[in-house]
Amino acid sequence: MNAPAISRRALLAAAAALPAGLALPARAQEGTVRLIVPFGAGTTTDIVSRVVAEGLGRALQQAIMVENRAGAGGSTGSDLVAKAAPDGRTLVMGTVGTHAINASLFRKLPYDPLKDFAPLALVGFTPTLLVVAADSPAKSLRDLAALAARPEGLTFASAGNGTSGHLAGEMLAQRLGGRMVHVPYKEGGMALTSVMGRQVDFMFYHPAAVNPQIRAGKLRALGASGARRSAAAADVPTLMEQGLADFDLVAWFMLYAPAATPPALLERLRRASASALSDASAKLQEQGVEQRPLRPDELVAFNKAELDKWGELVKRAGAQVD
């Protein structure tokens, strides 16, 4: 049987009759917000998005539907949001890959990371950890350099061509010298399994993914890629501490709306994002994600600087995706 129609006046009257703590969400009638994750389920981006979505839903008083739209290094899902209606109902969890690296990696990226998006909040950043198998002969960065100097050299894995892990590996090869051959995988979990099984010698990956394996005695961390030690791996020295100057490469996550979103709506989304990130602070730290609040103008400047930095690394690595 069909339920009888309820008039807007009756709905408002019912809401007014409820105790304050049970009042209907003021904007519930505006519908569900889709938070597009441009990578697969179970990835660090997916985990971070679901942590943030919980608080964002409370702040907006709307349901948040996390939707995985993986493909083309995150470009598929990002392009969906770039072309979405600017009504505040479709957002994307952008990353260093989707909004910095891909612009140089892909010959024909279907969106412009700066022109097609309005940044809402920097969710946070995380260095990657340089890891080897627990039984690897490399027990230090110096050991790794010595192994790379052999005629057969070393191999390093990544979650794919042009990812931050790939480019960090290329940068390490340039700094340490020797022979290091990149072995790209379709996703990070497969790459990590190969490192643990010693089919590949090392890789750079997020603390959220490698820490459980380190604790289980399957991996060893030799260094962190940021300027400061990761809060999630405080006992792991940075590569800069170990003599590799300017080795400051971090992965980051940023919430974006379509560029044409009206200013008043953007302001509402930014306030809600700030509230959500405050609520999620402890859970994000558990994932190794460190927060750095930035103003809207600083978000744009940050994104532009990252485009330039990673573009130079892509050029040096010679990475390209048609």
pLDDT tens column, 110-169: 999 999 999 999 999 988 999 999 999 999 999 999 999 999 999 999 988 888 899 999
The residue count of the chain comes to: 322
Q: Identical fold at 32-126+251-317 and 133-233?
A: yes
Q: What is the pLDDT of residue 21?
A: 31
Q: Say how far apart CA 208 and CA 224 lie, in whole Å.
A: 13
Other residues' Cβ atoms within 10 Å of the Cβ of residue 26: 11
Which residue type sits at 189?
A: G
Q: Say how far apart CA 308 and CA 61 lie, in whole Å.
A: 37
For residue 305, which of 233, 241, 252, 232 has the smallest C-alpha distance? 252
The phi-psi region of residue 230 (left if phi > 0; otherwise alpha if psi is between -120 and 50; otherwise beta) is beta
**pLDDT exceeds 60 at position 209:** yes
For residue 94, which of 122, 67, 58, 128 has the smallest C-alpha distance? 122
Pick the CATH number of 32-126+251-317 from 3.40.430.10, 3.40.50.300, 2.60.40.10, 3.40.190.150: 3.40.190.150
Cβ atoms of 208 and 43 closer than 8 Å: no
Tokens of 145: 């350099």
For residue 89, which of 11, 151, 36 has the smallest C-alpha distance? 36
Q: What angle do CA 169, 284, 123 make, to 5 degrees?
A: 75
Average pLDDT over residues 185-208: 92
Average pLDDT over residues 216-245: 94
Which residue type sits at 212?
A: P
**pLDDT exceeds 80 at position 245:** yes
Average pLDDT over residues 57-86: 95
Alpha helices in 180-246 (DSSP H): 188-196, 207-215
Pick the CATH number of 133-233 from 3.90.1170.40, 3.40.190.10, 3.40.140.80, 3.30.450.40: 3.40.190.10
- Domain coordinates in residue numbering, the chain: 32-126+251-317, 133-233
